[in-house]
Amino acid sequence: PITPGELLCLGSSLAFSGLFYYMYRKKAKVVARIQEAPKLQVDDDLPALVSAAEGRCLPYIALEGIVLPAQAALTSHYQEGLQGVIQKLLLKEHRLIWNSLARSW
């Protein structure tokens, strides 16, 4: 005979397994879209391509090309001849709504 505690453990185990499998499949689809992203070159045609896209946005693309630093390139302290640049980040903040019950934004 199966006890109610065992049934509870089995049910919660199945529920968590289903939840984690759902999350895995959702992230696997995103990874597949990123891997199938078209590779574009950084050239003079890129601004026209972005302007022609819906919403002036290209969802997943891989840009290939030479990057020039705005001022001076960063040099590595650990490997000779290795240089890099810092990517300019764009932060988009979403509108915050005050939750009076939780007293937080």
CA distance 37 to 89: 21
Residue range(s) defining the domain that contains residue 57: 37-89
> Token pair of 18, please?
């289903």
CA distance 53 to 44: 16
Do 30 and 43 have their domain in common?
Answer: no
Local structure of residue 96 (DSSP, 8 states) = P
Segments of the chain assigned E as strands? 39-41, 62-64, 74-75, 83-84
Contact yes or no for 73/83 (Cβ under 8 A): yes
Residue 60 lies in a domain: yes
pLDDT tens for the chain, 105 residues long, are 889 999 999 999 999 999 999 999 999 998 998 888 888 888 888 888 888 988 888 877 888 888 788 888 889 899 898 888 877 666 676 677 777 887 777
Q: Is the dihedral of CA 63, 68, 73, 75 positive or negative?
A: positive
Do 84 and 55 have their domain in common?
Answer: yes
Say what the pTM is.
0.47
Residue 24: its pLDDT value, please? 97
Do 84 and 42 have their domain in common?
Answer: yes
